[in-house]
């Protein structure tokens, strides 16, 4: 596994030098995902799926990520970041091709699972690379910029893919994702290996790493899980509330566009604050903003009111940019970093996968407003957990 650069003996890597090798490829990858994400449900409908089944098929991407998080840690540890990125890119290409050529929903389901697995391997490999080459003092900015680049691409993707969708239907956006996956994968595979990089061939197992760090994963991980849940549920609940109060599709798009811009613009400032004040001072305000946003959503009945809530939630998401990756990097034990980060990402991704499902389940048996209030309560509990377990300025990842 790649060891972090010893900044006492090696020239530290500056963030600017990673622009074309890491951040731009990440934005390119995000463009493809952003363009294709709304189209997978339409692709399922084209194959004869019901609306309910289409929703389930789309959620399989999240399931694939959850299932692949732990194996991804072992893959990165065994073969290194560059080779793992190649593996993730191949999985992504296969997943998109399955979706494009799928003759039935079964093949599309396989493609969605592969897409999720690709995201897990890609995500862990890029995070591990940043940890290996960026000095700890700039880690928050690096992680926030990485997350912001991905979100910028995701935000721009639907606009850039619109012409292809108009000409080719839903598959046009999938072809765009295929191309950006290949190009971004090639760009990141071409990056130089971190100094001192050596794939891990130690005797420890993935299970032993998880067992050794179960206390950290159980405490820090509880906050990460709740943050993942409210982040993902935001995407599911806001469109439903917009429909509930009678907003048109175009008005909903405008609201999401404004909130998305706030999210992206907060990325680098959030990273600066994270480096200077620590993850507790960043994570707690983010969770409080999530609680305020979800708690006030049931009080809105107009585009202006919902837009204000969407901006608050976009601000919360932007403030939280890079927090989870930075806390995990700081908490990871030397010599077992990739395996630990795989387990760490699993805690957050379980929340990402479960949040929208739980919100939908609550809405199915109660009012949508009850679902929003439940998410506000989860965010409040997450703020308490973040304050209790996340390290402050100069903290060491919560290991004490």
DSSP secondary structure string for all residues of 299-361: G--SHHHHHHHHHHHHHHHHHTTTHHHHHHHHHPPTT-HHHHHHHHHHHHHHHHHHHHHHHHH
Mean per-residue pLDDT of the chain: 86
Nearest to 378 by CA among 254, 228, 238: 228
Q: What pLDDT shows up at residue 37?
A: 84
Task: Give percent above pLDDT 90 in the chain.
Answer: 42
Q: What pLDDT shows up at residue 208?
A: 77
What phi, psi does 336 have (nearest 5°)?
-135, 30
- Residue 238 CA to residue 244 CA, distance in Å, equals 10
Question: How far apart, in Å, are the Cα atoms of 240 and each of 86, 224, 369?
Answer: 38, 25, 10
Question: How far apart, in Å, are the Cα atoms of 383 and each of 190, 216, 268, 271?
Answer: 40, 17, 22, 19
Decide which of 12 and 333 is more confident: 333
Q: What pLDDT shows up at residue 99?
A: 95
- Residue 232 CA to residue 227 CA, distance in Å, equals 9
Nearest to 386 by CA among 311, 324, 342: 324
**Other residues' Cβ atoms within 10 Å of the Cβ of residue 219:** 16
DSSP 19: I
Segment among 198-207, 299-308, 356-365 with least mean pLDDT: 198-207
First to last CA, the chain: 25
| Residue 196 confidence class, pLDDT cut points 50, 70, 90 | low
Average pLDDT over residues 262-271: 90
Average pLDDT over residues 29-51: 87
Highest mean pLDDT: which range of 87-96, 144-153, 272-281? 87-96
Q: What is the number of alpha carbons within 13 Å of residue 167 lying toward its C-beta?
A: 10
pLDDT in tens, 60-101: 998 999 999 999 988 998 898 889 999 999 999 999 999 999
Highest mean pLDDT: which range of 40-49, 311-320, 366-375? 311-320
**Other residues' Cβ atoms within 10 Å of the Cβ of residue 100:** 18
Domains and CATH numbers, the chain: 1-201 (1.20.1250.20), 203-400 (1.20.1250.20)
- Residue 303 CA to residue 166 CA, distance in Å, equals 28
Average pLDDT over residues 3-16: 52
| Residue 203 confidence class, pLDDT cut points 50, 70, 90 | low
Segment among 186-195, 273-282, 315-324 with least mean pLDDT: 186-195
- Residue 65 CA to residue 112 CA, distance in Å, equals 10
Highest mean pLDDT: which range of 121-125, 330-334, 375-379? 375-379
Q: What pLDDT shows up at residue 195?
A: 60
Q: What pLDDT shows up at residue 198?
A: 47
Statement: residue 2 has pLDDT above 50: no
Q: What pLDDT shows up at residue 399?
A: 37
């Amino acid at each position: 596994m790649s060891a972090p650069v010893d900044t006492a003996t090696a020239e530290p890597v500056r963030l600017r030098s990673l622009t074309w090798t890491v951040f731009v490829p990440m934005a390119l990858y995000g463009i493809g995902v952003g363009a294709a994400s709304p189209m997978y449900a339409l692709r399922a409908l084209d194959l004869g799926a019901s609306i309910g089944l289409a929703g389930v098929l789309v959620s399989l991407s999240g399931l694939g990520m959850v299932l692949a998080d732990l194996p991804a840690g072992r893959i990165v540890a065994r073969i290194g970041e560059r080779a793992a990125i190649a593996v993730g890119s191949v999985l992504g290409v296969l997943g998109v091709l399955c979706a494009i050529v799928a003759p039935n929903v079964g093949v599309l389901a396989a493609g969605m699972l592969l897409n999720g697995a690709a995201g897990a391997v890609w995500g862990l490999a890029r995070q591990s690379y940043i940890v290996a080459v960026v000095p700890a003092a700039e880690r928050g900015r690096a992680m926030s910029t990485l997350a912001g680049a991905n979100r910028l691409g995701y935000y721009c993707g639907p606009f850039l893919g619109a012409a292809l969708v108009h000409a080719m239907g839903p598959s046009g956006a999938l072809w765009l994702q295929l191309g950006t996956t290949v190009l971004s994968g090639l760009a990141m595979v071409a990056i130089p290996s971190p100094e001192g990089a050596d794939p891990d061939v130690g005797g420890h197992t993935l299970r032993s790493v998880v067992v050794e760090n179960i206390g950290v994963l159980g405490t820090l991980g509880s906050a990460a899980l709740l943050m993942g849940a409210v982040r993902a549920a935001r995407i599911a609940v806001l469109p439903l509330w917009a429909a509930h109060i009678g907003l048109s599709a175009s008005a909903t798009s405008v609201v999401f566009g404004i909130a998305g811009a706030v999210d992206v613009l907060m990325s680098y400032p959030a990273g600066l604050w994270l480096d200077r004040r620590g993850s507790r001072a960043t994570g707690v305000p983010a969770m409080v903003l999530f609680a305020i946003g979800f708690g006030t959503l049931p009080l809105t009945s107009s585009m202006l009111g919902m837009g204000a809530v969407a901006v608050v939630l976009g601000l919360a998401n932007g403030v939280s940019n890079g927090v989870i990756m930075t806390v995990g990097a700081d908490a990871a034990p030397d010599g077992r970093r990739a395996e630990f980060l795989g387990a760490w990402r699993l805690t957050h991704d379980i929340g990402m996968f479960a949040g929208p499902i739980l919100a939908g389940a609550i809405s199915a048996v109660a009012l949508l407003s009850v679902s929003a209030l439940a998410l506000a309560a989860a965010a409040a509990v997450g703020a308490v957990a973040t304050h209790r377990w996340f390290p402050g300025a100069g903290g060491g990842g919560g290991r004490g």
